[in-house]
Chains A and B, each alone.
Chain A
């Protein structure tokens, strides 16, 4: 990741990006390079004073992503153990967000090609899902149960063995 900053010349240059709702953000070029999409734009000389428009990323998640990339770019190579630990703590705090923001980050990180953030958000979502009953998961993620009671019973039957292994506290089955 650090190598990319060298090819593009002055690594202190600031890159401007514009959210879908028209807000402007700035970050060091090294930070922008953590996004595959931004890196390609910079390499193709598409980064100008007007800023790179990001049509599907709103200001709220974009502010978070700029934060994430700036932090990670500043500490991308030759990390000491303490620095690596600190970055881990930063990630852990960074991803403590509500499900709306988590959703926006998942989609935006995927769109912008920020690999580290994609992984972080995917892991966080998996952690949220894990150990919850189907009903709790519906609540967490705002999902409507579209099964009939008969269909539910059918699935319970198919899954009986798994439910014997890990029985969540649920009235179902």
Chain B
């Protein structure tokens, strides 16, 4: 071993690398050509194992806890302090082991406000991370939306002309128009913005009982639209539709299928939270 250095078989080396944080692995690409090769080929960001993360917030300080999936014990804790006395730090989302956080700034009598939701995405071929931010306005019209885009490593945000939520799946970021009839998409490589039709139930809102609201989500690396029905006394349900084919850049018509349905009879004032599809076929509310 002394002559060739620590030349472990690739499989063992990959196991070791996967235990390290994404940002450390980026550093390790500088060690030598072999390390760079193994990191690029075998530990691509999207191959990162899913871990259980809990994010807790109290005024002034928030903590991210990462749990070991094997024995469920807490393994790492990071603390984020707010730079404002009554402010806070909230988690926007995660992407390949990186956390996207935003600071909530206190205003007036100390009520946290500003900084609407953003999403964070990774493009596999360019290897770049971009944070896409949809500025929130009280009244949304279908035409005058502007997206703000931040590329990791850049000095500032850029504006890209182009509402539901926003999600990044397979190199594109998606969100719904305010009426919920179209899905908007932006390719993270060339920032091409397109739109295609939303799942049928979102489109035909008057036919849908109750008061549906919708939310885009990531279902096993495919775009999903969760449609929630909330009624005061009737069962509450959430359906998740998954984009089977088409859509994206609008070349072919979108084909959707309803993959999950969750219904519950809940007391007034309770509702099912938006699903996060993370572990196997389990949907977490």
Contacts and interface: CB of A to CB of B under 8 A. Distances in A.
Interface of A: 99-100, 103-104, 106-107, 110, 118, 122-123, 125-126, 129-131, 133-134, 137-138, 141-147, 152, 155-156, 158-166, 168, 172
B27 to A, nearest CB: 6
B230 interface: no
Contacts of B129: 161
A64 B255 CA distance: 59
A134 B31 contact: yes
A156 B29 CA distance: 9
Contact of B30 (A99, A122, A152): A152
Given A145-B32, A162-B26, 13 more contacts: A103-B1, A110-B12, A126-B19, A126-B20, A131-B24, A137-B31, A142-B5, A144-B5, A144-B32, A158-B127, A159-B26, A159-B30, A162-B27
Closest 9 interchain pairs by CB?
Answer: A161-B152, A162-B26, A141-B6, A161-B153, A134-B30, A126-B19, A143-B5, A160-B153, A142-B5
Contacts of B28: 129, 134, 137
A118 B27 CA distance: 25
A103 B8 CA distance: 7
Contact of A138 (B9, B19, B32): B32
B2 interface: yes
B143 interface: no
Interface in B1-55: 1-2, 5-6, 8-9, 11-12, 15-17, 19-24, 26-33, 35-36
B30 A146 contact: no
Given A122-B12, A142-B5, A162 B30 contact: no
B201 to A, nearest CB: 39
Given A123-B19, A129-B16, A141 B27 contact: no
B14 to A, nearest CB: 10
A168 to B, nearest CB: 7
27 contacts: A100-B1, A104-B1, A107-B9, A118-B12, A122-B16, A126-B16, A126-B19, A126-B20, A129-B16, A130-B24, A133-B27, A134-B28, A134-B30, A137-B28, A137-B31, A141-B5, A143-B31, A143-B35, A144-B32, A147-B32, A152-B30, A158-B29, A162-B23, A162-B27, A163-B27, A166-B23, A172-B30
Sorting the interface of chain B by its residue count into under 10, 10 to 19, 20 to 34 or 35 or more gives 20 to 34
Nearest to B36: A155
Contacts of A122: 12, 15-16, 19
Nearest to A172: B30
Contacts, number: 92
A143 B32 CA distance: 7
A69 B218 CA distance: 44
Contact of A129 (B1, B11, B20, B152): B20
Contacts of A123: 19
B16 A155 contact: no
Contacts of A143: 5-6, 31-32, 35
B12 A106 contact: yes
B34 to A, nearest CB: 8
A152 B27 CA distance: 11
A123 B18 CA distance: 10
B6 A166 contact: no
**Which of A152, A166, A168, A172 has the most chain B CB within a 10 Å cutoff?**
A166
